[in-house]
Amino acid sequence: MRSRRLFAQSVFLLFLVAIPATAQTFHGGVRGRVLDAGGLPVAVPLDLIDIATGLTRTTTSNERGQFAFSNVLPGEYRLRAQAQGFKTYERAGLRIDTQTFLTIDIALEIGDVAELVTVEAPVPLVNRTNGSVTASVDRTALELLPSAGRNVFIMATSVPTVLATGDAQFVRQQDQSNSSLMSLGGGPRRNNAYVLDGVPIVDLLNRATFIPSFQAVEDMRVQLSAYDAEIGRTSGGVFNVTARSGSNEFHGNALYQNRPDWAMGRLFFAAKNDIENPETYYHLYGGGVGGPIRRGRTFFWASAEGYRTSTARSTVLVLPTDAERRGDFSQSGVTVYDPLTTKPDPTRPGQFIRDPFPGNRIPAGRINPVSQALLQYLPMPTSGKSRPAVAQIVDRADQITAKITHRWADEVTTTGLYAWYESMEPDAAFYGRPLFENPADPGGGAFVRGAQVIALNTVWTPSSQSVVAVRYGFNDLEDDNRPSPFDPSSLGFAPTYLAAVPLKKFPNIGVTDYGRGGSLLGDRPRDRAHYYTHSTNGTFTTLLGRHTLKLGGEYRLTGVRFQNIGGMGGFNFSREFTFGPNPNAPIPGTGDALASFLLGFPSNGGISVSSPIDASLHYGSGFAQDDVRVTPRLTLNLGLRYDFESGLRERHNRIIAGWAYDEPFPVQVGGLRPDGTPLVLMGGFRYAGIDGAPTHQGNPNPWQFAPRAGAAYAVDERTVLRGGYGLFWAPSQGIVADEWGTATTGYNIGTSYIATTASPFVPCEGCSLTNPFPAGINQPVGSSQGRLTGVGNAVGFIDEESRLGYLHRYSVDIQRELPYQLVVGAAYLGAAGRQLMGGIGGWGPNINQLDRHYLALGPALQEPVPNPFLGTALAVGILGASTVPRGQLLRPYPQFDGVYLRRANLSKSRYDALALTADRRMSAGWAMHVNYTWSRTLDSQFAESNFFAGGSFLLDNYDVDAEYGPSALDTPHRLSLVGIVELPFGYGRRWLNRSGAANALLGGWTISTAGSVQTGFPISVAQSPNNSGLFGSAQRPNSVAGVDRRLTDDPEVSYDTRCGCIRWLNGAAWSQAAPFTFGNAPRADARVRTPTRRLWDVAIQKSHRLGARTVAVRAEIINVFNFADLRGPSLAFGDASFGQIREAAGFPRLLQVSAQVAW
């Protein structure tokens, strides 16, 4: 009820501003003032004429001479002012891009209205209108700059403070997730807003659901620090895209692009191992056509683009030798211990000891039959334990867009956009068989996506001083995981297990140090999710004296329908069961995860069975914005916004709304804890709508006000000083479509593999890979078990007090216009985040960890004691044996394993950046954009990660603030350069501009380039094994002072042919932390980073006119210097692979050849 009242309040506020409205508009505008020859303000009619369509907007300057054209569609315009007694003023060439606002002051000359004064001045290059920090990606950039994937959002990486954290190979239409893994201006990832023609195109995970092709885009505005109160539901930045429109003339184009495989550079690891690139192909096709349906009234633009590709990727697999597959580790350089011999150490009370296998060989009779059967699906190594491998990734994608613009009357214009997209993409399959033909390959199966977008916009001008804009948007995205077909009956699993699994497929097997980053066998699970968003929005703008006042609001419904069908479960194997002799403090060179696999003893695992879920949330907002032109030199931007976002709901209340922290558990077992305190059980799930629990998750904040303020001061005609501050509320995050992401345990139910019970070092009796769930697989029971749901297992929930995070943004910058259309600038951008999530995945603290003061008990925490739960309904899972470790009974909720607080807003951040820029718009045949960014990013986002450096983790679950330090996203230095040069020969250029052989040969050449260099990301080192001993805490090694952490700066020098890897880290810089300690290595160590990233592309284009047509032939060289975009090293200290780099991201050098005809 509380949430409903709060939502009603937000809806009421929305009605107060009289009209439903949007958070982000794509329109631009022109404002200024009109003065007579004596410098006095004058009221005159003005026209703003769209050159392409002829559509005209009319207004009249007020008594102060002020005028404003608001909600102007992007395009090129002509401004005209005329009144009796004055010559007619006209200024052409006014380019208004997305969210571009020009200030044009007009001085009228006395004379006859029939006399025309034409002003040829260029569009102002410095921003005198507002204090926001933004950048534009226009059609010139889209048409001429090199691009590996023709992804408009990825083009923003040339903008200062825009940081891409994903794989540079996944930059295509189908890469919605990677396109959303960007940080803008120090904001959190997956917090950005993506807007297409004024409507949001994000899903519940804050991903862009649709990536329009270059053919469909007019331009894009990247808003880093936008102090307009119209901006909302983002604590990152805004990607504001305008779709291309038709004009009064018919125009069109057709494009074909190809990548000849003979020109592809050598893949880094394949070249090191003398492996030839595989055969690849790339066919991209597209085009667009537009024009008038009714000249001067109705226009259209339609486009289509698709591709069929086969790309290559290289890695070095780690695979067991033939001897190791037979259990023989005598030549492996490690000692393998038998976990079934684990016993108390008679010489050291409280410690344990185990015996090695005789001869370092596992007896044939001890090898698990399922493990033995699974090994036949693994390829063999080619040298030692290494197998350099190359994968072919076969993708397809298609999209169609159509946009219509219609002028109903001089005062009313409507645009309508429809977009459709579909793709199929597999992962990198390195085991060497075609798609769907190797179910054992972790890269097997395929991922199918489909998306639709509808965007309707109407602009109404009720008077010369006022404009109304209303919009409706809809978008949906369907994610469909499809595994390879497989019958697992031949693998030797127990019949009862096979009969109970939800889907028969290949099981997922992870073995530390083997395969590709530990992933050894089994392709993707079967699941399907349908994300959707409805939005309605608009604005009312009016000119009052010096004030341009804008009022608005927004309503959004966003949700997901999903069902995780799953499969055969997943099982992970580590060294813990086979190292020794003391499993609490194993000596180096002991244990092997493959030995644990051969024995059939996973360290963890599980399987899920699900019910259909339909979850959604509501969002409403209202805002007021006043742009005040205080003096001709000073403009202020003042605004206030109100946001309200309900907690997540499920249509049938199939969610967990909270945790019964201090409420007695329904079943009590009595007795005392090992520390002598009464064993009183508390906690358990609170299901939505039951026993007074709310029907939503979290605690929506009814006071989410967001003040905004900006200023622009013109020091002189060529210099502007700008600055601003804004508070931005983050959207809900981490709502992953699964049991844990939505907290739907009971409806989506998992069964955890029980690795140990009585002792943390001895495998659970009767538990193995053959029959991993001897007590059966849990089935969905909904909320019928109440707080008994999940006992004996790890569980997760959403805290009832959780609220949305927010970000303070502030900036100050100076811009100076120089000769030759050059603008230089220096900017400070800052951001401070509060109540942030630990990371985009939604992981939070384990509130069932022992308090750190229990570390003093040491090995006593692991000693078996009688199980007080035996003989009750709680004797399941980890509580099913006759004894339990002493530490289990000291946990806050001893009837559970881990209790994870999901989507917890406990973290903070700080970002500071200095950006130096030099920009030149396209003029006289050349343009450039050069920028350097120095930045520092600090945070306590303990679960944040990136593609290159992996993830971090929370050390002590009760001390999040201790994690504050360098962010996993910290990259102090980044240099970016973009340049376009038209050679001055041929038609429309300076020389040889007449037809003839010289024009045909030398004319129409354009060269462009885009490149960047940036420092790597900090690394996050974990300890393996984790011996912290607090039943849920993490552990890091200790740092060794005075030892270089990196072996070399040059990957070429540090390549080791013995392992087929780059040895990046110096293991001597860390030491194993003692049992029952945390270790002192930092969460993210900025003293050592992943390799420097260097990306450089070049394009050469030859255009030739054939009558009304232009034919362009183009060659793009992606990664022209064939730099290896290396991933970071393995970071589990204690594992054999620690410090090794085995994989490169991005593309090798590629040649893209294309031909385009335009008319």
Q: What is the pLDDT of residues 73-101, one digit of tens each?
A: 888 999 999 988 888 999 988 988 888 88
User: Are residues 153 and 113 both part of a single domain?
Assistant: no
**Backbone phi and psi for residue 265, each to the nearest 5 degrees, phi listed first:** -70, 165
For 803-831, what is the mean pLDDT? 96
How far apart are the C-alpha atoms of 741 and 1088, rounded to whole Å? 33
Question: Which of these three, 94, 119, 144, is where a domain ends?
Answer: 119
The per-residue pLDDT for range 169-184, each reduced to its tens digit, is 899 889 999 999 999 9
For 99-112, what is the mean pLDDT? 87
Kindly tell me if the per-residue pLDDT of 3 is higher than 60.
no
Look up the CATH number of the domain holding residue 43.
Answer: 2.60.40.1120
**Backbone phi and psi for residue 990, each to the nearest 5 degrees, phi listed first:** -75, -45
Considering the domain boundaries, does residue 222 fall inside one? yes
Kindly tell me if the per-residue pLDDT of 712 is higher than 70.
yes
CB atoms under 10 Å from CB of 786, counted, come to 15
Cα torsion 1092, 1093, 1094, 1096 to 10°: value is: -170
Threshold 0.85, pTM exceeds: yes
Considering the domain boundaries, does residue 212 fall inside one? yes
What range defines the domain where residue 105 resides? 19-119
User: Are residues 153 and 195 both part of a single domain?
Assistant: yes
How far apart are the C-alpha atoms of 342 and 352, rounded to whole Å? 7
How far apart are the C-alpha atoms of 603 and 576, rounded to whole Å? 8
The per-residue pLDDT for range 349-380, each reduced to its tens digit, is 888 999 999 999 999 999 999 999 999 999 99
Question: Which of these three, 358, 375, 392, is where a domain ends?
Answer: 375
pLDDT more than 90, % of the chain: 74
How far apart are the C-alpha atoms of 188 and 835, rounded to whole Å? 12
For 273-284, what is the mean pLDDT? 88
Residue with tokens 């997922």: 508
User: Are residues 100 and 142 both part of a single domain?
Assistant: no
Q: Model confidence at 15, in pLDDT bands (50, 70, 90)?
A: very low
Considering the domain boundaries, does residue 1131 fall inside one? no
How far apart are the C-alpha atoms of 385 and 403, rounded to whole Å? 56
Ramachandran category for residue 13: left, alpha or beta (phi over 0 → left; psi -120 to 50 → alpha): alpha
The per-residue pLDDT for range 1075-1127, each reduced to its tens digit, is 999 999 999 999 999 999 999 999 999 998 888 899 999 999 999 999 999 99
What are the DSSP calls for 220-282, one per residue? EEEEEE---TT--S-SS-EEEEEE----SS-EEEEEEEE--GGGPPPPHHHHHTT-PPPP-EE
Predicted confidence at residue 758, as pLDDT, reads: 72
User: Are residues 187 and 228 both part of a single domain?
Assistant: yes
User: Are residues 26 and 86 both part of a single domain?
Assistant: yes
Kindly tell me if the per-residue pLDDT of 12 is higher than 50.
no
Question: Which of these three, 194, 213, 243, is where a domain ends?
Answer: 243
User: Are residues 90 and 151 both part of a single domain?
Assistant: no
DSSP letter at 445 equals S
Predicted confidence at residue 2, as pLDDT, reads: 44
Considering the domain boundaries, does residue 599 fall inside one? no
For 147-163, what is the mean pLDDT? 95
User: Are residues 53 and 91 both part of a single domain?
Assistant: yes
For 758-771, what is the mean pLDDT? 87
User: Are residues 108 and 148 both part of a single domain?
Assistant: no
How far apart are the C-alpha atoms of 655 and 797, rounded to whole Å? 9
* CB 162, CB 969: distance < 8 Å: no
Total structural domains within the chain? 3
Predicted confidence at residue 24, as pLDDT, reads: 58
User: Are residues 338 and 364 both part of a single domain?
Assistant: yes
How far apart are the C-alpha atoms of 859 and 584, rounded to whole Å? 8
User: Are residues 186 and 115 both part of a single domain?
Assistant: no
Instruction: Specify the higher pLDDT residue, 162 or 311.
Output: 162
User: Are residues 141 and 231 both part of a single domain?
Assistant: yes
Predicted confidence at residue 118, as pLDDT, reads: 82
Residue with tokens 């895209």: 241
**Out of 329-333, 347-351, 916-920, which region has the weakest mean confidence (pLDDT)?**
347-351
How far apart are the C-alpha atoms of 655 and 742, rounded to whole Å? 7
How far apart are the C-alpha atoms of 212 and 370, rounded to whole Å? 47
Predicted confidence at residue 600, as pLDDT, reads: 97
Kindly tell me if the per-residue pLDDT of 8 is higher than 80.
no
Look up the CATH number of the domain holding residue 186.
Answer: 2.170.130.10
**Backbone phi and psi for residue 684, each to the nearest 5 degrees, phi listed first:** 115, 160
Considering the domain boundaries, does residue 398 fall inside one? no
User: Are residues 112 and 25 both part of a single domain?
Assistant: yes
Considering the domain boundaries, does residue 158 fall inside one? yes
Instruction: Give me 312's structure tokens.
Output: 């290559």
CB atoms under 10 Å from CB of 374, counted, come to 22
Q: Model confidence at 791, in pLDDT bands (50, 70, 90)?
A: very high
Considering the domain boundaries, does residue 552 fall inside one? no
* CB 913, CB 955: distance < 8 Å: no
CB burial of residue 593 (10 Å; 0-12, 13-18, 19+): buried
Rg (CA), the chain: 32
Considering the domain boundaries, does residue 159 fall inside one? yes
The per-residue pLDDT for range 1015-1051, each reduced to its tens digit, is 999 999 999 889 999 999 999 999 999 999 998 888 8
